[in-house]
Copies of this chain bind each other. A is one copy, B any other.
Amino acid sequence: MIDELSALRRIEERFHKASKDVELGIGDDAAAVRFDSDKLVLSTTDSQVEDVHFMKSLITPCELARKAVAVSVSDIGAMGGVSKFILASVGFSEREDEEFLEQVISGFINSEQEFGVELIGGNLSSSNKLFIDITVLGEVEPELMVKRSGANPGDLIYATGTLGDSALGLKILHNGLKDRNNYLVNRHFHPIPRLELGRELALKRIATSMIDISDGLLLDLQRITVQQGIGAKIELMKLPISKEYAKFIGQFSQNTFELALSGGEDYELLFTSHEDRQRDIQVISKNLNIEITEIGCITKDRSIEVLNADGEALSLQNRGFVHFNN
């Protein structure tokens, strides 16, 4: 059981340092901050709810707090923006204690350093299940902002890093292989949002559209095509998968690419770019030491086609789930 007043006091103690952009941080009715006057203010919010997004027995409070921030700043990165401030709304159940609170605070402090943000406010409440809701405020130059819309037929489609790792890590966990040192399991608990890369793609005006992959490649791909009345063609054999994914996927699916196509929570970037920017993308990939893989192209048809090694289209179902016929 966490006492609200002592918790608030502890939080104010731990987060009292504020940068020059923070006129007023934690401890008043609202926080007051400054943004660059020629930039747009970006805002996004995301929740982690116990037994929906995580199980308390599998993740530490510190990891949980960090992950809640990571998935939210990821959205700002996918706009080409820079995250600046966070607000944390936390619902503690009576099963959490002061030690748990300390670990959550540590997770937020780690996040501040890792993601270059400052915690400026929040809210504590009771809840029968633990939840952490993070709002991120960031900024971006209006001319550099990368939206989900903006892709054109002929644009190439790229994915960063490797796909399906987080979903496969979760399957490994749920099947009792609770080896927390497993690479895939770690990818699930400790996602690395591609903040620097997203920013570079925006600064160099390379991405015509961009999104972070939170719900699986196919579903998130639809978010940059459907409303624009365009489609995409993806080549299965091009999808970037990790060695560890290749090693473990056979235990869970007959179809090597199933989770790379539809597994969520990788927080890799999916973006489109004119084909004449391939060279620039290679340079960024090399400079930041992040794999960036061309996986297909934008088409005029209002559909998503996934081609197998023989160039045959797989039949796809709604919501990112793929039906493999073979």
CB distance from A10 to the nearest CB of B (A): 15
Among A124-132, A200-208, A231-239, A300-308, which stretch is in contact with chain B?
A124-132
User: Bound state CA distance, A8 and B222, in angstroms?
Assistant: 14
CB distance from A264 to the nearest CB of B (A): 12
CB distance from A302 to the nearest CB of B (A): 16
Q: Which of B34, B121, B148 contacts A45 (CB 8 A)?
A: B121
User: Bound state CA distance, A35 and B24, in angstroms?
Assistant: 17
Q: Which of B30, B133, B136, B140 contacts A133 (CB 8 A)?
A: B133
User: Bound state CA distance, A41 and B39, in angstroms?
Assistant: 13
Q: Which of A70-96 contact B (CB under 8 A)?
A: 75-76, 78-79, 81, 85, 87-89, 91
A47-B91, A47-B125 given; A40·B23 CB < 8 A: yes
Q: Are A125 and B33 in contact (CB under 8 A)?
A: no
Q: Are B33 and A40 in contact (CB under 8 A)?
A: yes
Number of chain copies forming the complex:
2
Q: Are A43 and B87 in contact (CB under 8 A)?
A: yes
Q: Is A253 an interface residue (CB 8 A)?
A: no
Chain B residues contacting A88 (CB-CB under 8 Å) are 45
Q: Are B31 and A42 in contact (CB under 8 A)?
A: yes
Interface size on A, residues (CB 8 A): 62
Q: Are A126 and B32 in contact (CB under 8 A)?
A: no
Q: Which of B78, B127, B138, B319 contacts A5 (CB 8 A)?
A: B319
Binding site for B on A (CB under 8 A): 5, 23-24, 27-35, 37-38, 40-47, 49, 51-53, 75-76, 78-79, 81, 85, 87-89, 91, 120-123, 125-129, 131, 133, 135-138, 140, 142, 145, 147-149, 210-212, 227, 319
9 further interface pairs, Cβ-Cβ under 8 Å (given A30-B42, A32-B41, A43-B137): A29-B148, A29-B211, A31-B42, A33-B43, A44-B121, A47-B89, A47-B133, A128-B128, A133-B133
